[in-house]
């Protein structure tokens, strides 16, 4: 597939979750690299503390890495994982990038993520080892949520672009780092990600104050019919080196087509685009935005 899409001038972005499942082949074959008890059960599990998405945090339940053991192996598993992924895609979005600096460890018996603690991860030394192996890493760092100066420093030292999400840009003041006039070129800007509502659904749930902030920034009135197109165009006109919008926003679909609701297990990742919907895309409009924004 990679060679096929390259012939059409298309590049692929793949996702690399930082953690793996307890019942995965990886944990089964190398339990010595994971934080497990003698019976093979997780001692502590992964997640994030209470945040924008959930008042009780997110308990993902993945077993945690024993980073010293992985380092002593030369990060062999990580190198193989990255090599195989790069055979399939051109760019890799590392999910939960901050977990390489510090990760949230939750006692396995806890039912929510509230009673965890931050634990030091491998830090930049991990990426130094990966850079020595691959020469360069075509990586997008998912640096959303509670991000510390240490995480920002690690990302910049590695030369990885971070993520900017327009749906998060209008809730505070005009110094918000996700606003297009504040973003750095070493970044990837999104209208929303797979964890967000569709932009149309987000607008429908937005407060009157947030809607006013959006319209003030755009300089004209927006509504449920045009907000997805307006934010997509705004992302295209930003200084971010790469702009991405979910297909649901290009199709102006509502919250019923949301991809994922963080912190929930069922009902996610079931939306599929139909051929009829795809045929409704306006390629001329996309071409126009690419030309006037210099992204052609």
Catalytic site residues?
95, 142, 195
SS3 content of the chain, % helix, strand, coil (to 5): 35, 15, 45
Residues 6 or more apart in contact with residue 179 via CB below 8 angstroms? 169, 170, 217
Sheet containing strand 139-141, strands side by side: 13-16, 91-94, 139-141
Sequence-ordered list of residues with C-beta below 8 angstroms from that of 103, at least 6 positions apart, any chain:
18, 46, 64, 96, 118, 119, 121
Report the residue count for the chain: 296
Tokens standing for residue 65:
């890495």
Dig out the tokens for 78 from the structure. Answer: 């990580």
What phi and psi values does residue 26 have, to the nearest 5 degrees?
-65, -45
Measured distance between the N- and C-terminal CA atoms of the chain, rounded to whole angstroms = 23
* Pick from 75, 70, 68: nearest CA to 134: 75
Q: Rounded to whole angstroms, how far apart are CA atoms 35 and 107?
A: 11
Provide the sign of the torsion angle of the four alpha carbons 250, 251, 255, 261, taken in this order. Answer: negative
């Amino acid at each position: 597939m990679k060679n096929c899409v390259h012939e059409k001038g298309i590049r692929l972005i793949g996702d690399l979750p930082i953690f793996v499942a307890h019942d995965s082949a990886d944990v089964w074959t190398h339990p010595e690299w994971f934080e497990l008890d003698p019976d093979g059960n997780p001692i502590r599990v992964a997640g994030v503390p209470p945040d924008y998405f959930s008042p009780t945090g997110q308990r993902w339940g993945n077993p945690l890495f024993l980073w010293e053991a992985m380092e002593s192996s030369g990060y062999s598993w990580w190198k193989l994982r990255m090599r195989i992924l790069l055979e399939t895609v051109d760019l890799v979005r590392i999910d939960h990038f901050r977990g390489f600096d510090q990760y949230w460890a939750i006692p396995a018996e806890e039912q929510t993520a509230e009673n965890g603690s931050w634990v030091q991860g491998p830090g930049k030394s991990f990426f130094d080892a990966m850079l020595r192996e691959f020469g360069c890493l075509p990586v997008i760092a998912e640096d959303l949520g509670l991000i510390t100066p240490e995480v920002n420093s690690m990302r910049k030292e590695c030369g990885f672009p971070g993520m900017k999400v327009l749906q998060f840009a209008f809730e505070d003041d005009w110094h918000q780092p996700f606003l297009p006039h504040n973003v750095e070129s070493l970044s990837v800007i999104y209208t929303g990600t797979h964890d967000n509502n569709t932009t149309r659904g987000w607008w429908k749930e937005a407060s009157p104050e947030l809607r006013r902030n959006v319209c003030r920034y755009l300089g004209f009135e927006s509504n449920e019919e045009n907000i997805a197109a307006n934010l997509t165009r705004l992302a295209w006109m930003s200084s971010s080196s790469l702009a991405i919008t979910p297909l649901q926003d290009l199709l102006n679909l509502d919250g019923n087509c949301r991809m994922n609701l963080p912190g929930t297990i069922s009902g996610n990742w079931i939306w599929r685009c139909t051929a009829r919907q795809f045929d409704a895309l306006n390629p001329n409009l996309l071409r126009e935005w690419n030309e006037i924004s210099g992204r052609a």
